[in-house]
Structure 1
Amino acid sequence: MNITDVERDALYKVIHSRRDVRKDFIPKTIPDEVLERILKAGHHAPSVGFMQPWDFILVTEQQTKNALKKGYESASVESAQKFSDEKRAEYQSFKLEGILEAPLGICVTCDRERNGPVVIGRTIKPEMDLYSTVCAIQNIWLAARAENIGLGWVSIIHDDVLRETLDIPANIEIIAYLCLGYVSNFKDKPELETFGWLPRENISQLIHKEKWSKKA
């Protein structure tokens, strides 16, 4: 099945306009059929040995979100102490999550025991199942953007908070907590780039030819 030029251009548009959304969520429910398409996109990600190690926990109840928000706030205070005084003030001025504002949360997990102890492609690099799950998250992110739905990855929260709140078994790895919802607008650039926290790297400085020491 060939991809048309129009379809190709649409894919690149989605990739380049994807954003990590932390605010601007609006109180509009994601229709079931749209959510199904997004989750199926995640489920069709590549996975090592075709083990499909992911699960998706859907979070909509306010009580659950309140508990996760409390966990984020505690982790954010802890995180702020790791920055210099100058950077700490700037860090604390950023809004870095949308746990309460987003209509839907999705916790993505990885079952490293799925389909047995020996998996094709994981015999030398056992962490490949974790990378596979991240591929599923990227698919979800791009599918959400194609549906004009914002998504933000909340990484400033301890796994034990997610594990206790969402009743996740001890043998299951927690990979991500995602906030999804329709938004009032999508930013032209990533917020941290706009704020001057860091610039986008020049891709010409990131490409090597044959050896690390040789720039392309």
Structure 2
Amino acid sequence: MSGGSVDEEAKPDFSKKFRLDFETLLKWRRDVRRFRRDPLPSGQLDHLLHLADLAPSVGNSQPWRIVIVESLEKRSEVTACFEAENETAAKTYQEDRAVHYRQLKLSGLKDAPVHLAIFSDEDPEQGHGLGRMTMPETLAYSTVSMIHTFWLAARAEGVGVGWVSILDPGTVAEILQVDDSWRLVAYLCVGFPEEEHIDPELERVRWQSRSPLETRLFRR
């Protein structure tokens, strides 16, 4: 993936404090499900989206397409889609795990003041196809890179983000009436967190703890 270049004379010198602060930012980047309903200050969302747009992308294609879902009717339809898919998912679990699943809070759709539907254009003119002919999925990977950039930028300003993945992509695309070439990558809830926790919620409610890096590290 390609990103912006920095003139050698202007190359930043990231201090030890900055590096420690960045590590703290990564640790505090949580998937938020509990939001306060008060809106973001005027201009803050636009600022965060401009920061996110600095993310790298394959062929410099910037394939992300961001839909700000303001319509209460469309939000309600997305929420109904989530509830239907969540019920389907619940039925795949058995006994205690099924009970546990139904107790989880898996979205902030009804409280978050901002809803963002993030799509990836699967055939963007920008970039002229560079870098994606053998791996077209790099367009979606680029969009995820933008999402993570947005997430970190938001968290640095005290704003929380929650990724709602229990949705049918086709249904969401139909609700929002987007171009047929757009692929849903994420539906994000955005707002100020009701609570602040450094540990993941799924770890606190004993669904799944994090595991050591060594379990995912291989050498060949």
TM-score by length of 2: 0.90
1:99 aligns with 2:109: yes
Which of 117, 138, 141 is the matching residue for 1:128?
Answer: 138
Q: Please name the residue that 1:5 is paired with.
A: 16
Give the letter aligned to residue 101 of structure 2: Y
Q: Please name the residue that 2:32 is paired with.
A: 21
Residue range with higher mean Cα deviation, 133-142 or 29-38: 29-38
Q: Secondary structure at the match of 1:32?
A: coil
State the 1:85 CA deviation: 2.4
Separation in 1, partners of 2:172, 2:86: 15
Deviation per CA, 1:32-70, whole angstroms, max 9, x where unpaired? 321122111221111000000011111233222111111
Q: Please name the residue that 2:80 is paired with.
A: 70
Distance 1:123 1:148, change over 3 A: same
Pairwise CA RMSD? 1.5
Give the letter aligned to residue 6 of structure 1: K
Which of 42, 50, 58 is the matching residue for 2:52?
Answer: 42
State the 1:86 CA deviation: 2.0
Q: Secondary structure at the match of 2:43?
A: helix
Deviation per CA, 1:72-91, whole angstroms, max 9, x where unpaired? 11011111111122211111
Q: Are the aligned partners of 1:53 and 1:112 in contact in 2 as well (CA < 8 Å)?
A: yes
Q: Please name the residue that 2:169 is paired with.
A: 159
Q: Please name the residue that 1:214 is paired with.
A: none
Q: Secondary structure at the match of 1:208?
A: coil
1:191 aligns with 2:201: yes
Which of 148, 154, 159 is the matching residue for 2:158?
Answer: 148
Give the letter aligned to residue 153 of structure 2: A
Separation in 1, partners of 2:124, 2:87: 36
Q: Please name the residue that 2:42 is paired with.
A: 32
Q: Are the aligned partners of 2:63 and 2:122 in contact in 1 as well (CA < 8 Å)?
A: yes
TM-score by length of 1: 0.91
State the 1:118 CA deviation: 4.9
Structure 2: which 5+ runs fail to align? 1-11
> What percent of counterpart residues are identical?
30
Q: Are the aligned partners of 1:104 and 1:179 in contact in 2 as well (CA < 8 Å)?
A: yes
Separation in 1, partners of 2:172, 2:52: 20
Which of 170, 174, 179 is the matching residue for 1:169?
Answer: 179
> Paired residues, what number?
209
Separation in 2, partners of 1:105, 1:98: 10
Q: Are the aligned partners of 2:82 and 2:167 in contact in 1 as well (CA < 8 Å)?
A: yes
Separation in 1, partners of 2:217, 2:51: 29
State the 1:116 CA deviation: 6.1
